[in-house]
Amino acid sequence: MKRLTETLLRLVPAVAVAIATRPVLLAQPRLTLDYPAMAKRLVAQLALKPGEKVMSIAQAGIMADLLPHLRHEVMRAGGIDLGVIEILPEPVPETFDAAVLAKGAREARAHYKAMFRDVDAAIMMPGATPAHPAYAAMQDWLKDDLTEHRGRRTIHFHWVENGSAYPIAGQPLPIRSAIDALYQRALLETDYKALAEIERRFAAALETGEVRVTSPGGTDLRFRAGNRPVNLQDGDASQARAARGKVLIDKEVELPAGAIRVAPLEETVEGVIAFPPSQWDGRPVEGLKLRLSKGRVVEVIASSGKDAVCRWAITPSWAERSYRPDQVQPMSAGTFSPT
């Protein structure tokens, strides 16, 4: 017994030292999101009129705690809450039949459109995209509204999902709590009146003639916008604003806000676009510059990964689109948010 006691006494300090010197694993800090304030802001931007019908489209498990607050705020604002449409979570299991999913999505889209006939506004939650039939069906009504001018609209509530925040080579993302804090601050603390004024001034400047865009990284691009419509993402999701919409994106209001979009006159686009270290076709690319002339990419320059850029530009998915990969597309500028 005495020998056992002496052995234990020798072991206890050793165990204590081992525990003390082990690396301590701490959970990544997370921000406690202010869901009531977020819901109040989102619904406030809709500027609901009494009796307007509102629904949300969401993916299970993503910001689920926000949804009850959203529905309550819709009712408080005098709107009619139509509940939540749940999308099929992604990624789907590998065992799912792609043909079955595609057929199901086509059929569901048509039925969803009939269901959404009387919907005035929808909130697209993080995770929902136009690839989902419910989202696409609501977009169908928004397109119809470009001629009907009823004022249907959606809020595209974006967070880190769907590639809204992603790392690039040599520039890892901040921790999730820092990203959440940034997004929440942008949503809740932006001065939307000041933002709208800044964006209107920028849009007016676009009409005055040639625009030149430069960056320290080597971008030097010139173009004219002419009388092309300029989309101002200033957070105004009211019925009156949506009724004046000229293009689809005018009816899809992004929150947090701050971007401006315009499609330049293609033949006026000249110069170079320089990219930071990035990923193309799943491969790292460095020193990338695209030279454009009359709206078309005429030269690809890269210190590494050039073949990945060229291969990405001719993948089959591009062929399914209504534009050519070598042509300039609508440009976004931002963020203009004062926060």
So what's the pLDDT on residue 32? 84
**Cα→Cα distances 229→201, 260, 332, Å:** 14, 11, 13
Distances (CA, A) of 121 to 10, 115, 251, 330, 331: 71, 13, 10, 25, 26
pLDDT of residue 141: 98
pTM as predicted? 0.81
Closest to 49 in 3D by CA, of 74, 78, 81, 82: 78
- 226: alpha, beta or left, given left = phi > 0 and alpha = psi -120 to 50? left
Q: What is the mean pLDDT of residues 29-43?
A: 89
Give the tens place of pLDDT for each residue, 77-110: 999 999 999 999 888 999 999 999 999 999 999 9
CB contact at 8 A, 128 and 135: yes
φ, ψ of residue 224 to 5 degrees: the values are -125, 145
How far apart are alpha carbons 324 and 296 in whole angstroms? 9
Tokens 């520039």 belong to residue = 171
Q: Model confidence over 288-306: pLDDT tens digits? A: 999 999 998 899 999 999 9
**β-pair partners for 85:** 57
Question: What angle do helix axes 176-189 and 35-46 make, rounded to 10 degrees?
Answer: 40
Domain boundaries, the chain: 35-199+233-260, 210-231+264-333
pLDDT reading at 316 higher than 50: no
Quickly state the pLDDT bin for 171 (edges 50, 70, 90).
confident
Q: Give the pair of three-digit tokens for residue 138.
A: 């609501």
Q: What proportion of the chain, given as a percentage, has pLDDT over 90?
A: 69
What lies within 8 Å, CB to CB, of 134 at 6+ separation is: 57, 85, 87, 108, 109, 112, 128
Q: pLDDT digit string (tens) for 208-235?
A: 889 999 999 999 999 999 989 999 999 9
Q: What is the mean pLDDT of residues 117-123?
A: 98
For domain 35-199+233-260, which architecture applies?
Answer: 3-Layer(aba) Sandwich (3.40)
pLDDT at 325 over 60: no
pLDDT for 312 equals: 73
Looking at every residue in the chain, the average pLDDT score rounds to 86
